[in-house]
Amino acid sequence: MLKLLSSSSSLHNRVNSLAPTSIRTGSSAPFLRVLSSLTGLAGRNRNLGCRVIALPLPHRPLFPGFYMPIFVKDPKLMAALQDSRKRQAPYAGAFLLKDEPGTDPSFVSGSEADKNIYDLKGKELFNRLHEVGTLAQISSIQGDQVILIGHRRLRITEMVSEEPLTVKVDHLKDKPYNKDDDVIKATSFEVISTLRDVLKTSSLWRDHVQTYTQHIGDFNFPRLADFGAAISGANKLQCQEVLEELDVYKRLKLTLELVKKEIEITKIQESIAKAIEEKISGEQRRYLLNEQLKAIKKELGLETDDKTALSAKFRERLEPNREKCPPHVLQVIEEELTKLQLLEASSSEFNVTRNYLDWLTALPWGNFSDENFDVLHAQKILDEDHYGLTDVKERILEFIAVGKLRGTSQGKIICLSGPPGVGKTSIGRSIARALNRKFFRFSVGGLADVAEIKGHRRTYIGAMPGKMVQCLKNVGTANPLVLIDEIDKLGRGHAGDPASALLELLDPEQNANFLDHYLDVPIDLSKVLFVCTANVVEMIPNPLLDRMEVISIAGYITDEKMHIARDYLEKSTRESCGIKPEQVEVTEAALLALIENYCRESGVRNLQKQIEKIYRKIALKLVRQGVSGENEVTETNDAEVVQVNGLVQNTDDSQNQSGLESVEGDSHEQVESSLEPDTNKDAKETENVNEKEAIMDIEKVLVDKENLSDFVGKPVFHAERIFDRTPIGVVMGLAWTAMGGSTLYIETTHVEQGDGKGALILTGQLGDVMKESAQIAHTVARAILLKEEPDNTYFANTKLHLHVPAGATPKDGPSAGCTMITSMLSLALNKPVKKDLAMTGEVTLTGKILPIGGVKEKTIAARRGEVKTIIFPAANRRDYDELASNVKEGLNVHFVEEYSQIFDLAFGDDESSEK
């Protein structure tokens, strides 16, 4: 029976092909050899008796011919096993442990199963053992590890003793089968074929084949089934089913199912491995090639490592300022450089760290520009760039003087406020030039994101520092002049309040440790000079305004505009248009008309536009004249050249003839060559003279008051003074607007009269404040009329209509009260106010005159309207005294505290001398 496979050559060849080549072709016994000594082993087994020590197996059953290590924790069981080896009976029964009732074996870990085995003793352990097991030889004992080798099947019949568990067993034999049965042969061949496919993929399984043949002998049908089931990855219950099956054919069928399933698992494993390999092979190959390329370049000295080069670049950039750099910043830079070396170049964190180091090392830590504290030099530069603005220039010179005495300058926050076009931004640029500081400007008009000022957090994608850090990087010094433009137009959006974020930046006490969110290290901005610009100071939040020193720029009067237009605007415009001074003449009358009728605003931006408009038209006119002149010159030059060439030709002929008669041919050649250059030179000089004459012939362009409209169109503004002498019920007031100051008339007339019909109608697009002022004026006027003329019942019986002309222009403000009262009283008294009188001021119900704003603008408007007498509130005397003398020239100004004084000035017979 044991030599069954030897008689079947085909089966022998198939099984023999499973073994490794070294085993099949070696000098030792063939892979499928028959061990004749197996009969002696069976004889020894029969001498053991029917009692064996029961060893529980937690994970898989032990098949005949296979090794299995188990761990024995019970000292009594270990002692019994060692004693069995000493008595030359090194055998025990290995039985698979049943699962605990109510548990899923697939979810129980190996450590838990082992723990459960150690807790089982005696009867409890006996009940948990499968009946069919394997007779196992104890090969070796090392510590608590016992190595078992399976030999044959056993069945438990009864328990003999509990500690250690000893049982009676019966040896099981396979059921008889027909070795020549074609079905059994076919099944076994399919098992062998499948096993061979599986063995190709695993070297471990090939080792199993070698070990099995060494210990159990040749393969036959039963052993083939055991081998296939043992090396498969089936669960323990399926393996136990194969172990318990004594019918050889059924056992082969069960094994075939297991190995078929194994081959399917192997195919799935290969497909998964192939898919993953294809996915990563491209990137891995590219990465390996790049690393090899870097290594090759590094060995050849062609290129250093990226990270090393970056670190070297950052250290080199930091080196000039290392001594001046604050210690806490140096510590952060060193930490980030160390971190950069540990990161992979392909990681996102690497790019974040690199950008962070780029900003940190690019800032001018402690690098200050040398300031110029020469007051005379600064005065010269400021006068070169700007006319007037005495108070602004004085403040800048004070700042320079303090810096010179201290030896160092301290950053300040200056706010220049005024209407558009008065030169606020250009003043900041001039201050930077006077101080020899770097200049940086950024506008915060409409800014709604706090991150523009404080920077983004580094965790955000595309994070950047704020504008202040960008400024320091751009200018390269730590003490620039920073112009923050349009600070009164800050926005406020969902990303925070920028006005509040500017509090730290513009606070002299806090900006020495300004913290940008991106850099996250304190930056010293105390040496930075901040200059802010605003049109309306009231629009700046109070906490922010409190940190600034406000310098107001009211605007320019006509005389100042004349100087600016003549000395600055006209000169720069002429140069930008490429026109020479001798080609154009703009008269004083033309400039005055341009300022009065086209550019009445406080600034000079519109004036510059109009001057540019004039010079563009002049340039076109000159070019047209020049083109026609060039054509004439070209025709003239062509005729003269023809005549000159003819003259030269005649001269040559005469010389040639005389030369032939008196001298030889060489002399003739010398004479001819000497004459030609002189003749050409004369022709060129003639051309140059003609061109100059043509240019001189171009008519000089004269811009005068009469032809001004040809260049800039019809006048925009007309005379504000409508009346030479204001009629009854009309009074001239003074108002402040965004364009500067202006005069406006307040008119009052009666609608109807009758007993008890006293009322007031208001028109002229008046705001709420002016409507209230009109109601107050009506009440005060009735009181004054009652006091002056007790019998006059005009207000009680007359319906009045008060109107402020230019009804399409909204008007509001607390400065028209006294003008309205005077207008109503003029109508009630039927008496006009004095000639050339204008007034401004708000009145209370008791007749007190309250102060107003915009004194300079209103004074300028009065001068423009040819007003001789102005009435101001007494509280505004200080503002008027601070005005320049040329603004106050020719004006008779009265300062009043109560309306009774205005009544005397407007309607009195003798003009008051108080000024």
Residue located via tokens 């909204």: 810
What's the distance, Cα to Cα, between the start and end of the chain in Å?
A: 147
- d(CA 342, CA 353) in angstroms, rounded, equals 11
Cβ atoms of 333 and 360 closer than 8 Å: yes
pLDDT, one tens digit per residue, over 188-232 is 788 787 777 777 766 666 666 666 666 555 667 777 777 777 777
Q: Is 746 helix (H, G, I), strand (E, B) or coil?
A: strand
Task: Indicate the fold that domain 50-100+117-171 takes in CATH.
Answer: 2.30.130
How many helices (DSSP H) and strands (DSSP E) are in the chain? 35, 24
- d(CA 263, CA 127) in angstroms, rounded, equals 36
- Does the pLDDT value for residue 277 go beyond 70? yes
> In CATH, what is the architecture of 558-624?
Orthogonal Bundle (1.10)
Residue extents of the structural domains in the chain: 50-100+117-171, 304-361, 375-552, 558-624, 730-907
DSSP 688: H
CA distances to 189, 584, 702 from 706, rounded to whole Å, are 123, 16, 10
Task: Indicate the fold that domain 730-907 takes in CATH.
Answer: Ribosomal Protein S5; domain 2 (3.30.230)
The dihedrals phi and psi of 275, each to the nearest 5 degrees, come to -65, -45
Supply the pLDDT for residue 818.
Answer: 92
| Weakest mean pLDDT among 50-59, 73-82, 659-668 | 659-668
SS3 sequence of 770-795: HHHHHHHHHHHHHHHHHHHCCCCCHH
Supply the pLDDT for residue 634.
Answer: 54
Supply the pLDDT for residue 912.
Answer: 42
Dihedral of the alpha carbons of 639, 645, 650, 654, in degrees to the nearest 10: 160
Tokens encoding 827: 């109508």
- d(CA 469, CA 476) in angstroms, rounded, equals 11
DSSP 97: B
- d(CA 716, CA 701) in angstroms, rounded, equals 24
Supply the pLDDT for residue 450.
Answer: 84
Report the binding-site residues. 418-425
Within 10 Å of residue 268's Cβ, how many Cβ atoms? 10
Q: Which CATH class is domain 375-552?
A: alpha beta
Supply the pLDDT for residue 19.
Answer: 36
Helix (H) or strand (E) holding 251, with range, is helix 248-300
- d(CA 714, CA 734) in angstroms, rounded, equals 26
- d(CA 491, CA 593) in angstroms, rounded, equals 40
More confident: 733 or 73: 733
| Weakest mean pLDDT among 21-30, 57-66, 91-100, 692-701 | 21-30
Report the catalytic residues.
815, 858
Highest mean pLDDT: which range of 10-14, 111-115, 273-277, 300-304: 273-277
Residue located via tokens 């074929």: 193
Within 10 Å of residue 827's Cβ, how many Cβ atoms? 24
Report the binding-site residues for ATP. 418-425
CA distances to 146, 160, 465, 537 from 73, rounded to whole Å, are 11, 21, 67, 91
More confident: 819 or 691: 819
| Weakest mean pLDDT among 294-303, 558-567, 661-670 | 661-670
Contacts 24+ apart (CB under 8 A), 844-849: 844/776, 845/776, 845/779, 845/780, 847/780, 847/783, 847/784, 847/898, 847/899, 847/900, 848/897, 848/898, 848/899, 849/818, 849/873, 849/874, 849/896, 849/897, 849/898, 849/899, 849/902
Nearest to 736 by CA among 853, 817, 820, 888: 853
